[in-house]
Structure 1
Amino acid sequence: MKKNLIILLSMVLLLSCFTSVSAEKAPEKGNKKPEPPKQEEKAKYAIPDSVMNITKENTYPNPTEDLPYLQPSDLTKDLLSTSKVKIENPDLIRLLNETTINSTPFALGYRAIVYLGEWPLNYESTETSPNWEYQKINTNYYDNRGGKSPYQIHYVQEQQKTVKGGLTAKIKNAEDVQKMMMLTAAKKTGLPLSFETIVGAGTKKDQIYNIQPKRLGYLYGYAPAINEKGKVTFGEVYLMLKGNKKLIVVKNVTSQGIGAWIPIQDHVSFGFVASERPR
């Protein structure tokens, strides 16, 4: 679909016959690489002592899920500045970057309108909150009721566990929406986020938990995640060429509330309980 759009754009736009503009520069407001989280946000998303990084110990090497902050070309920046609706969708920006428009001083009377499709244009966050015990992934257990001295237990992942996040409701262009939500949440929290993370069997941590005599000890492992909530704006996007003018026109704009769970990659939250009776 996107390849066909690019071909269609090239055929229509080459009718005007002028030099191509495709140079790329540093991104402007709305498309630049995000700044580090502010001090207040760092405190809100500070990792508690019960949560440990297992990147080095994880027997399953998770790929880094850093989404690129796409830099718009000069032409794309000019086009985005003409839109009355903010456009932040990386895939739409990539499509515009791959577009070449030629102009000529003799283009008077020339007019073309190219329909680029309906797109999720931007995402506005209303709430970003961590759940450090999003999903239980492991239980280590020892019965020390017959013991005469404390027994030391530490975390060992019994089975490989895949933790998946996702959107909380069905929505059009879900993949594009997920990308924008993850970019926003990663910027706000400064945490390594991914919609899927795996903890490999045999992953260990040396932190010791003591089980006193006459007690059963349970060490629970949880995968933490970020709950992201906000609003997505959709619209039908048109590229309009009128003489020497080039502009983006967005029609039939709609908004929809959406939420998502996004796991924190390579982190485990621990909870230790000692009990006289089985749990």
Structure 2
Amino acid sequence: MLRKLLLFVFTIIISFSCSTKIAIAKTAQPTINVPSSALNISKENTYPNASQDTPYLQPSEFTKELIETSNVKIENPDLIRILNESNISKTPWAIGFRATVFLGQWPLNYESTETNVNWQHQRINTNHYDNRAGKTQYKMMYSQENQSHVKGGLTAKVPQPDHVKQMMLIEAAKKTKLTLSFQTFVGAGTKKDQVYNVAPKKVGYLYAYTPAVSEKGKVTYGEVYVTVKGSKRAIVVRNVTSQGIGAWIPVQDYVSLSFGAYDQPR
């Protein structure tokens, strides 16, 4: 009887542990739902945006070995590139050899704390039709009247902002699974065939917006040194500081549409 009771309790503990792990795994990966009002215009866009792949750089074996010795996590692609282009050969004759090389102060990593999408970040176009004198519904569709250029950017001044933007872009793209860039264009004449009906005696307005990701988190800086002691090679980071930072990053080749019909012009 006691054996059966212990087995029952053990089964409950295992089941609870597994369900907890599953719940944690589900909440650890946020999903971004694209609303029906947001339309992909990558095929229709008359301005061909340059595709911007997230600039992740695979570290070489030598770089991996160095990074593993660091007392601070290193994720900056530009720093990884410099380390990839470097080499310090191991030799049995290096006994007693010591050297320290200062690589400068770097933004080392970015830790994301909040990622949200504003699907109506910036209005880029307005189509309207006055059907107050009409007797039938008017079919209205989105048509971009002028070329639009939307820029993103950081919300505060930080040292070496280009490095910070690069790391934030990588993290935001990974979390949202969207094509992101710090600038995007929508060309004049870009159209979508989705229909919005303007009833008689109404004035219809169709607003187009460029969506953007609001990315917030913390960037860590430090002075980076490469040290050599005999055949041992390592990275030492000194004077480590952290700073909160945010950014707006436009979603490339998307427009979000909002339609309204009114009694009078607006």
Q: Give the TM-score of the pair, scaled to structure 1.
A: 0.85
Aligned residue number for residue 249 of structure 2? 262
In 2: Cα distance, 1:41 partner to 1:135 partner:
30
Query: Which of these two proteins has the greater Rg computed from alpha carbons?
Result: 2
Q: Given that residues 41 and 189 in structure 1 are in contact (C-alpha distance below 8 angstroms), is that contact kept between their aligned partners in structure 2?
A: no
Q: Deviations over 1:113-157 (max 9, x none)?
A: 100000000000000001000000000011001111111110000
- The structural deviation recorded for 1:102 is 1.5
Aligned residue number for residue 161 of structure 1? 148
> What amino acid is aligned across from residue 68 of structure 2 in structure 1?
S
Q: Given that residues 42 and 189 in structure 1 are in contact (C-alpha distance below 8 angstroms), is that contact kept between their aligned partners in structure 2?
A: no
Aligned residue number for residue 24 of structure 1? none
Where structure 2 has 5 or more consecutive residues not aligned to the other structure, the ranges are 1-24
In 1: Cα distance, 2:55 partner to 2:214 partner:
22
In 1: Cα distance, 2:87 partner to 2:237 partner:
20
The yes-or-no answer on 1:70 pairing with 2:46 is no
In 2: Cα distance, 1:97 partner to 1:252 partner:
24
The yes-or-no answer on 1:147 pairing with 2:131 is no
In 1: Cα distance, 2:27 partner to 2:212 partner:
20
In 1: Cα distance, 2:203 partner to 2:112 partner:
44
Q: Deviations over 1:173-225 (max 9, x none)?
A: 10000010010000001011111000000000000100001100000000001
Aligned residue number for residue 219 of structure 1? 206
- The structural deviation recorded for 1:108 is 1.4
> What amino acid is aligned across from residue 168 of structure 2 in structure 1?
M
In 2: Cα distance, 1:66 partner to 1:203 partner:
24
> What amino acid is aligned across from residue 199 of structure 1 in structure 2?
V
In 2: Cα distance, 1:177 partner to 1:68 partner:
12
In 2: Cα distance, 1:184 partner to 1:265 partner:
16
Percent of residue pairs identical? 62
Q: Please list, as runs of the form range in 1=range in 2, the aligned pairs for 1:69-218 lying within 5 A after superposition.
A: 69-218=56-205
CA 122–104 in structure 1, closer or farther in 2 if over 3 Å, else same? same
Tell me the secondary structure at the aligned position of residue 193 of structure 2.
strand
- The structural deviation recorded for 1:46 is 1.3
Q: Judge which range, 265-274 or 95-104, deviates more.
A: 95-104
Q: Give the TM-score of the pair, scaled to structure 2.
A: 0.89
- The structural deviation recorded for 1:68 is 3.3
Q: Deviations over 1:69-125 (max 9, x none)?
A: 211111111100000100000000000000011221121111111000000000000
In 1: Cα distance, 2:30 partner to 2:196 partner:
27
> What amino acid is aligned across from residue 151 of structure 1 in structure 2?
Y
- The structural deviation recorded for 1:41 is 7.7
> What amino acid is aligned across from residue 69 of structure 1 in structure 2?
Y
CA 42–237 in structure 1, closer or farther in 2 if over 3 Å, else same? closer
Aligned residues: 242
Where structure 1 has 5 or more consecutive residues not aligned to the other structure, the ranges are 1-37
Tell me the secondary structure at the aligned position of residue 71 of structure 2.
coil
Q: Given that residues 150 and 250 in structure 2 are in contact (C-alpha distance below 8 angstroms), is that contact kept between their aligned partners in structure 1?
A: yes
CA 236–175 in structure 1, closer or farther in 2 if over 3 Å, else same? same
Aligned residue number for residue 252 of structure 1? 239
Aligned residue number for residue 30 of structure 1? none
CA 243–41 in structure 1, closer or farther in 2 if over 3 Å, else same? closer
Q: Given that residues 30 and 175 in structure 2 are in contact (C-alpha distance below 8 angstroms), is that contact kept between their aligned partners in structure 1?
A: no
> What amino acid is aligned across from residue 210 of structure 2 in structure 1?
A
Q: Given that residues 136 and 200 in structure 2 are in contact (C-alpha distance below 8 angstroms), is that contact kept between their aligned partners in structure 1?
A: yes
CA 48–71 in structure 1, closer or farther in 2 if over 3 Å, else same? same
Backbone CA RMSD of aligned residues: 1.3
CA 57–41 in structure 1, closer or farther in 2 if over 3 Å, else same? farther
Q: Given that residues 133 and 200 in structure 2 are in contact (C-alpha distance below 8 angstroms), is that contact kept between their aligned partners in structure 1?
A: yes
